[in-house]
Structure 1
Amino acid sequence: MTISDVGGAPAVTTPRRAARLRRYAMTAPTFFAVEYAINPWMDTSVPVDTALATRQWEILLSTYRDLGHAVELIEPIAGLPDMVYAANGALVVGDRAVVARFAFPQRAGEAVAHAEWLTRRGFEPAFTRHTNEGQGDLLVVGSIILAGYGFRTDRRAHDEVAHLTGLPVVSLELVDPRFYHLDTALAVLDDSTVAYYPPAFSPQARARLRSTFPDAIEVGSADAYALGLNVVSDGRHVLLPAAATGFADQLSQAGFEPIGIDLSELLKGGGSVKCCTLELYS
């Protein structure tokens, strides 16, 4: 926000936010299930309603299209229940796609599927030697990449990603296993604005975020624990978990337009709006 002096009285002016049309890829939760537990959100004893997950996912898909964004669909594959979390499959910048190298063998097949899909669409697949989990831990903000490590992506992969994309990478250490991917603890709102949950990061990472983004929105525990930072923004409209009402208020005060999406069934696997959305950065 900015402060102006009109008629002798200071007034707070909310900045104008501009949307930019985006290109996304998504995978339907046709085979979604919680068959194993590889993050603190997953509980194999809790039943999953795949039909409900599909209906919720379809609302997210239609919301993107109603806003004018292009969405391409990646065919789901039986035996890959986490494939609905399309963001984890790659980092796509321009014509280069850095394909994921997953930490857990249960998800390895997703990397193969993503590489084949991206190749068919004219992208050039590239691979890291060390573990990286795509846009789960690699988030583009303007002309830089914020890169998480500590639970899934190997810190050594960050240098590889910088080399493959030509973009500078800022490494951020995650310290709370509930926030095992960067996109569960930090949201990119536009090319210069982020929101994040400070306790999810090491002291050094928090200091780096504060120096790089002095106007960042710091989100409270209630919203973070609803996976409220797992959002997708077009620069104006911010699609976020419906339960993150406090964060929605913060977004409104900052000039964004929050749109709550109920993905409660997919939250059982540890993912929400961003996890389900692979952005194809131009």
Structure 2
Amino acid sequence: MITRDPAAFLAFARTLAPDFGPACARAAFLVAPEGFALAAESASDNAYMDLSVAVDPARALAQHRALQAALAQDLPVLCFPGDPAAPDGLFPNNVFATAPGRLLVGRMRHPVRQREAERPDIRGFFTGLLGYREIDLRQSPGLCELTGSVVIDRARGIAFAGLGERCDEAGAAALHAALGLRATLLFELAPGEYHANVVMSVLAGRALVIAPSGFADPAVPAAIAALYAPAVVELTPAQKQAFAGNCIALCAGRVRISQAGAEALVQAQRDTLAGAGFVPAPVPLDEIEKAGGSLRCCVAEIY
């Protein structure tokens, strides 16, 4: 099923058992922020970026190293070197995604991001070393920035595709087919939003963090929340702006989130996460967040 109808999607999703695959990745990879800088092309449709702010490349690199060390407590984490000519390269989950035995290469909107998809080291790691089959979505119709644009519940085999300037219906359908998903809900992001993974996160198939203000149609977040209730953390616009929605569960009991995102949560929201079996595990990423993304954006999962 691929649909824009949130009620039809909810009715179908409620029939699905969480038996599609592992809820959490078996490993992850990062790309170091070498020569950290802000990409003007990306800022054209990323309201979370401010080109007027100064950035500290050394501080960004130090925070990124600390992020890798923290994530390594949850699962094996690789880090590929960065490329100063690709300043957004530290957000590899937009360009690469995996399923068992498959590497997906996304079709990016901006030329500054398109060059990341050519990296022979990352592609060779999966195809040459791991023997994964490469599925290059650049050869398919549409635009889709993978797990930036589309939030996936791996346990149920369903996805939530935020349509906008970085993802269209054809691109979402190509991702749906490449992953063999059971159902994908298509929805329009609110004006000013660029990626679905900034406005929502599904945590190991058991809980939902969602910012209703990030959706054009309020019926959509309501339907998604109904699927995961009562384990739902609803974010305010200010919490969304602090990247509280850009979080991820890489193991059964921890939610990895930036320090700013964690500090934006209130006790009732922490209690909801605890009730679902999750403890927030924050990592300071304020320097990296100047580039318009946060912790989830940095993590490319390996299934």
What range is the shorter-chain TM-score in? 0.7 to 0.9
8 Å Cα contact 1:231-1:239 kept in structure 2 = yes
Residue of structure 2 aligned with 1:243, choices 260, 280, 302 = 260
Q: 1:213 to 1:104 in 2, by over 3 A?
A: same
Consecutive unaligned residues of structure 1, counting only runs of 5 or more, are: 1-18
Between the aligned partners of 1:54 and 1:213, the Cα distance in structure 2 is 36
Residue of structure 2 aligned with 1:33, choices 30, 37, 57 = 37
Whichever residue aligns with residue 245 of structure 2, its letter is: L
SS of 2:298's partner is coil
Between the aligned partners of 1:90 and 1:169, the Cα distance in structure 2 is 21
Residue of structure 1 aligned with 2:143, choices 131, 134, 137 = 131
1:165-198 deviation per Cα after TM superposition (whole angstroms, max 9, x unaligned) = 1112422424334431011000121213211000
Whichever residue aligns with residue 221 of structure 2, its letter is: R
Show the counterpart of 2:178: 164
Matches within 5 A, 1:118-197: 118-121=126-129, 122-128=131-137, 129=140, 130-141=142-153, 142=155, 143-197=157-211
Q: 1:257 to 1:96 in 2, by over 3 A?
A: same
The two structures have a TM-score, normalised by structure 2, of 0.80
Q: What is the deviation of 1:103?
A: 0.8
Between the aligned partners of 1:43 and 1:126, the Cα distance in structure 2 is 34
Q: In the comparison of the two structures, how many residue pairs are matched?
A: 262
SS of 2:201's partner is strand
SS of 1:126's partner is strand
1:18-45 deviation per Cα after TM superposition (whole angstroms, max 9, x unaligned) = x967411101111220141231122333
8 Å Cα contact 1:132-1:153 kept in structure 2 = yes
Matched, 1:62 2:74: no
SS of 2:29's partner is strand
* Alpha-carbon RMSD: 2.1
Whichever residue aligns with residue 206 of structure 1, its letter is: P
Calculate percent identity across the aligned residue pairs: 26
Show the counterpart of 2:111: 105
Residue of structure 2 aligned with 1:260, choices 282, 291, 294 = 282
The two structures have a TM-score, normalised by structure 1, of 0.85
Consecutive unaligned residues of structure 2, counting only runs of 5 or more, are: 1-22
Q: Which has the higher helix share?
A: 2
Q: What is the deviation of 1:136?
A: 0.5
8 Å Cα contact 1:240-1:258 kept in structure 2 = yes
Show the counterpart of 1:90: 96
More divergent stretch after superposition (159-168 vs 81-90): 159-168
